[in-house]
Amino acid sequence: MAKEQRRLLIAPERLAGAAAQAGTGPRLPLDSAETHYLQRVLRLKSGDCFAVVNGVGQLWQAVLEPPHARLLTGLDQPAQAQPAPCPELQLAVALPRRDSDLLLRMATELGIDRIQPLIAERSVAERWNRQRAAVIVREAVEQCERLWAPQLGEPASAANWLSQPHGLRLLATTRRHSPLLAELLPPRCSQAADRSICVAIGPEGGWSPAEEERALSLGWQPVSLGPTILRTSTAAVASAAALCSWRG
């Protein structure tokens, strides 16, 4: 059984600045929040080992030497390296007033590659706090042991964003006879399986008729997530689970 590995996500640009020491691996200064996380939350002590990930597919073994983390190998010698997931899976969602934090966390844990907040005509979400959202995503990446962190987009007008190309574009809708999401995903052995896939989820009040008709006129395909009416957060998690399970 593989040993549980405590992880710390460090941005690639910070890792690039880690100073190499003669006879040892690079030493990375830790900020107060990272030190607190390692020592107070994970209960690591000086000399304990953990893993550093950069969120773009690489992992290094490290040892805690407060106020630094020392990598056991050079930056060009990661202990693990993983290519970018293919195809890219995107979740565009009009974030709800409640459960936004949980939605971000679960989409990250399930394996979504890009999360795009949308502002729809019927959106009622609270003001977007990017710093808080980034912290939630980072913590989820560390907890679920992903090597690739999802990209987090800035909130965008649904009307404008739905007008952009996104590979296979699927619009979650209700009260219309639409095929199930799983029925529109291409066979994994087909050439179409390499296209990016995006599922767009509307707000709690649903897409407005104008938004829905515009999206369909632009090539978005309507999909159903089942026979019941789902809350936005439930629909987003159900879509993420279906996409990531399909990609395997």
Residue 1's pLDDT is: 41
Region 40-47 average pLDDT: 93
Q: 115 near 91, Cβ under 8 Å? A: yes
pLDDT band at 165 (very low <50, low <70, confident <90, very high): confident
C-alpha neighbours within 13 Å on the C-beta side of residue 79 = 14
Strands 58-65 and 80-81: antiparallel
Which candidate, 189, 193, 176, 161, places its Cα nearest to that of 229? Answer: 176
List CB contacts of 186: < 8 A, sequence separation 6 or more: 168, 192, 193, 195
Region 79-106 average pLDDT: 94
Residue pLDDT, tens place only, 73-92: 999 999 999 999 999 999 99
CA-based torsion, 176, 177, 180, 181: positive or negative:
negative
Residue pLDDT, tens place only, 186-225: 887 676 667 899 999 999 989 999 999 999 999 999 999 9
Region 103-115 average pLDDT: 97
Q: 236 near 91, Cβ under 8 Å? A: yes
Domains of the chain, earliest start first:
7-81 (2.40.240.20), 89-247 (3.40.1280.10)
Residue 220's pLDDT is: 95
Mean pLDDT of the chain: 91
Is 90 exceeded by the pLDDT of residue 113? yes
State how far the Cα of 52 lies from the Cα of 49, in Å rounded to an integer. 10
Is 60 exceeded by the pLDDT of residue 55? yes
Region 158-178 average pLDDT: 89
State how far the Cα of 27 lies from the Cα of 228, in Å rounded to an integer. 53
